[in-house]
Structure formats: structure tokens, C-alpha cells
């Protein structure tokens, strides 16, 4: 039985009785007197907390479970199946079995919804990254007297691209080493928004709501919105990935841990800030004044290009998973009692 409205002391209900559809009004007092109840079940059902609702049902006897499920709509039965599969299928198995006996179509729809939800969660997890916060690695407070611009706080962050760099320093350089170097060079703070160390750990540099100081500049430009750094998220990997005769040694190669973290961070950023994968740039591709750049070096550049392709494919898979979940949700939500 499904309650679809109320008129005075009567409830407008729809139900199946003896294979026939019933649509009419019954006394609310009578329904409450005759209907089985489980503490917390009705509240969880109303809140659409399907795992909690399934948990409450699992504590009852089989006949009580059956009686309560008969009061649910087909859509609720499908979502209760989702709740069972999303939590503890073993202990809650009696609930899913009861739903299958009562309405097999709802059981199938709920299972399909769970599969779609699991696939979506799996794709979403690929866009998550662990970033070590400034406070955790002991970043110094910024010196705001040395060139400091914040993005407007009353709008979405105007981020339009991602620029990848190398530090052109030893591969084993620490984030504190880099901070010290950049401070001595006159920067107000870490110029980059993210730093990827040799072991693949990602450190928060300049906060994302602060304009970076890494992409370059145009001489005599007084409009910050036209600055190459405006809207550019800066990522730097420790290491020198370009061959230079004056170095006297062979260039570094990014570690596999760095490359894995870079790809995950690139995918995360294009997803989080709704950027096109084509907005991922090497520093050498940024239009700016001054001599051409080779940054991030020949041994990293190809991986930046690859990052665009991988991020694009990841977004495509995520979109497909989102579409499938929405379709499964639509099927579950429009089920009718049978």
C-alpha cells in the first residue's frame, strides 16, 4: 500500500489486493492500528536512508518483514534492495529475499541500481587525491608585501588552465628546500599551487584562491586578469628533467611515483574545476614575455601530453558511469506495483 495523499482524517492510498488495483480512501487511525511497525523503519524510509531502513527490517521476524514491505511502493522496494547491497548483504539477506518474493522486478531494479552506483563510485575514486596541507608540512606565512593577488571571493574561481613545471633542481629536493629557495628569490610564497616530491607525495603550495607566480609575465602589464598567471594552476615536480651541458651530469627522470601522482592530480583538477583536458599545458607552451622556456624538460614533457589523453578518457568513463546511474535511478523510481 502506498499513501499518496490525505483528506481530513482519511488517507488516499493505492494498493494491490488479490491481483486487483485499489485506489481509494481509508481511515488513518485504522491504518495505523492495523499496520505493522518497526522502530526507526518509517523514519529511515521517509528520509530515504535505505541502508538504515534495511537494518531496521533485518531485526524483525520474516512475517513482520513481509507485512512492512507490502506497505512499500515498488520504487521503495528497489531502493531498499540498494540499501541492502550497499551495506551488509549477509546480515540483511532476509530483507532482500523478502523483496524478491514480493516484487522480483523491484529486486532486479535495485540490484541494477547498486551495480551502477558501485561503478560510479569506482570512477569517482579515480579523481580523488591526497594533498599534504600547508600546515602539515610547516609552510611559512606568506609575505603579502611582495606581490600578492587574490581571486575575487564573491565568484567561482576563474581557473582556466593548468601549467606543469620542473624545479630544475636535484630530484631529492624537499618541499621545505624549495620554499626556502623561492623565498630567497623574492617570492611572497611558494609560486606553485602544488609540489610533487620524488616519492610522489603531493604538497599544497600557494593556496588555490591566490594567483600563482609561475607561468610568467607581460612587461608593463598592469591588468592582473591579463597576466599569464591569472587563472593558471601551477604544478611543479622536483627534479631537473632537461639536458644541459653546463650541468655536467645527465638529467633526472621523473620517478614512477611522481608520474602517477601527476596524472591523478591532473585528472582531479580538470574534474573539480570543470576544465578541458586541453587546458593542461607545459610551461614552455605558455605565452609570455622573455626567452622561450624548455620547462618542464624533455624527460617530463611527453608525460604532460599523455596526461591530457588520460584525463580525457577518465572524464569520458565518469560521464558514462553517471549516465548509467541516472538511468538506473530513473528505472527504479518509476517502477509500479505488480
The CATH number of whichever domain residue 259 belongs to comes to: 3.40.80.10
Q: Is residue 277 part of a domain?
A: yes
In a domain, 169, yes or no: yes
Q: Are residues 65 and 154 in the same domain?
A: no
The answer to whether residues 122 and 141 belong to one domain is no
Count of all residues that appear for the chain in the document: 338
Residues 182 and 289 in one domain: yes
pLDDT value at position 250?
Answer: 63
Residue 112 vs residues 43, 300, 326: alpha-carbon distances, Å? 25, 42, 11
Q: What is the pLDDT of residues 211-248, one digit of tens each?
A: 999 987 766 667 788 888 999 999 999 999 987 666 55
C-alpha cell at 213: 607566480
The predicted structure's pLDDT at residue 274: 96
Specify whether 234 is located in the same domain as 277. yes
Q: With respect to residue 324, please indicate whether it lies within any of the assigned structural domains.
A: no
* Exposure string over 21-38, b if 16+ CB within 10 A, otherwise e: eeeeebebeeeeeeeeeb
Query: In terms of domains, do 28 and 114 share one?
Result: yes
Q: Which domain holds residue 65?
A: 2-126
Asked whether residue 329 is domain-assigned, the answer is no
126, 157, 175 — which closes off a domain?
126
Q: Answer yes or no: is 96 within a domain.
A: yes
pLDDT at 314: 97
Considering the domain architecture, whether residues 137 and 274 belong to the same structural domain is answered as: yes
Alpha-carbon gap, residue 319 to 317, rounded angstroms: 5
In a domain, 28, yes or no: yes
Do residue 265 and residue 176 come from a single domain?
yes
Separation CA 248–CA 242 (nearest Å): 12
According to the model, what pLDDT value does residue 33 have? 46
pLDDT computed for residue 30 by the predictor? 53
Is 250:184 a contact under the CB 8 Å cutoff?
no
Specify the pLDDT at position 145: 87
Residue 100 belongs to some domain of the structure? yes
Domain boundary among 101, 126, 151: 126
Point out the residues of the chain with pLDDT beneath 70. 1-6, 8-9, 11, 13, 15-19, 26-39, 88-89, 218-221, 244-250, 288-293, 337-338
Residues 75 and 217 placed together within one structural domain of the fold: no
d(CA 16, CA 74): 11
Pairing of strands 20-27, 10-17: antiparallel
| Number of domains comprising the chain | 2
Residues 140 and 279 in one domain: yes
Q: Both 41 and 73 in a single domain? A: yes
Say yes or no: 135 and 274 in one domain: yes
- What sections of 87-206 are H helices per DSSP? 93-102, 104-125, 134-137, 175-184
User: Are residues 140 and 280 both part of a single domain?
Assistant: yes
Q: How high is the pLDDT of residue 253?
A: 92
Examine residue 331 and state whether it is found in any structural domain, yes or no. no
At 248 the pLDDT is 58
Last residue of a domain, one of 103, 126, 149: 126
Amino acid at each position: 500500500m502506498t499513501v499518496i495523499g490525505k483528506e481530513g482524517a482519511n488517507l488516499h492510498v493505492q494498493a494491490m489486493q488479490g491481483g486487483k488495483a485499489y485506489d481509494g480512501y481509508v481511515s488513518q487511525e485504522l491504518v495505523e492500528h492495523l499496520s505493522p511497525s518497526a522502530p526507526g523503519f518509517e523514519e529511515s524510509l521517509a528520509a530515504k536512508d535505505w541502508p538504515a531502513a534495511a537494518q531496521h527490517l533485518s531485526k524483525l521476524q520474516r512475517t513482520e518483514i513481509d507485512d512492512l514491505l507490502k506497505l512499500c511502493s515498488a520504487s521503495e522496494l528497489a531502493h531498499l534492495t540498494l540499501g541492502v547491497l550497499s551495506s551488509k548483504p549477509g546480515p540483511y539477506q532476509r530483507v532482500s529475499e523478502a523483496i524478491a518474493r514480493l516484487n522480483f522486478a523491484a529486486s532486479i531494479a535495485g540490484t541494477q541500481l547498486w551495480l551502477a552506483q558501485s561503478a560510479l563510485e569506482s570512477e569517482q575514486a579515480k579523481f580523488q587525491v591526497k594533498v599534504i596541507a600547508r600546515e602539515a608540512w610547516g609552510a611559512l606565512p606568506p609575505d603579502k608585501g611582495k606581490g600578492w593577488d587574490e581571486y575575487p571571493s564573491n565568484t567561482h574561481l576563474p581557473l582556466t588552465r593548468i601549467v606543469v613545471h620542473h624545479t630544475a633542481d636535484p630530484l631529492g629536493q624537499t618541499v621545505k628546500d624549495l620554499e626556502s629557495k623561492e623565498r630567497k628569490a623574492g617570492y611572497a610564497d611558494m609560486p606553485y599551487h602544488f609540489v610533487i616530491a620524488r616519492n610522489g607525495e603531493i604538497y599544497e603550495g600557494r593556496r588555490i584562491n591566490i594567483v600563482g607566480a609561475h607561468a610568467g609575465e607581460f612587461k608593463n602589464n598592469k591588468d592582473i586578469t591579463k597576466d599569464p598567471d591569472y587563472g593558471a594552476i601551477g604544478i611543479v615536480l622536483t627534479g631537473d628533467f632537461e639536458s644541459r651541458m653546463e650541468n655536467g651530469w645527465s638529467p633526472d627522470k621523473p620517478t614512477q611515483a611522481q608520474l602517477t601522482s601527476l596524472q591523478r592530480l591532473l585528472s582531479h583538477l580538470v574534474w573539480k574545476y570543470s576544465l578541458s583536458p586541453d587546458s593542461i599545458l607545459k610551461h614552455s607552451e605558455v605565452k609570455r614575455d622573455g626567452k622561450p622556456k624548455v620547462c618542464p624538460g624533455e624527460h617530463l614533457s611527453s608525460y604532460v601530453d599523455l596526461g591530457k589523453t588520460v584525463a580525457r578518457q577518465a572524464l569520458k568513463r565518469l560521464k558514462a558511469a553517471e549516465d548509467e546511474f541516472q538511468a538506473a535511478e530513473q528505472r527504479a523510481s518509476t517502477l509500479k506495483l505488480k
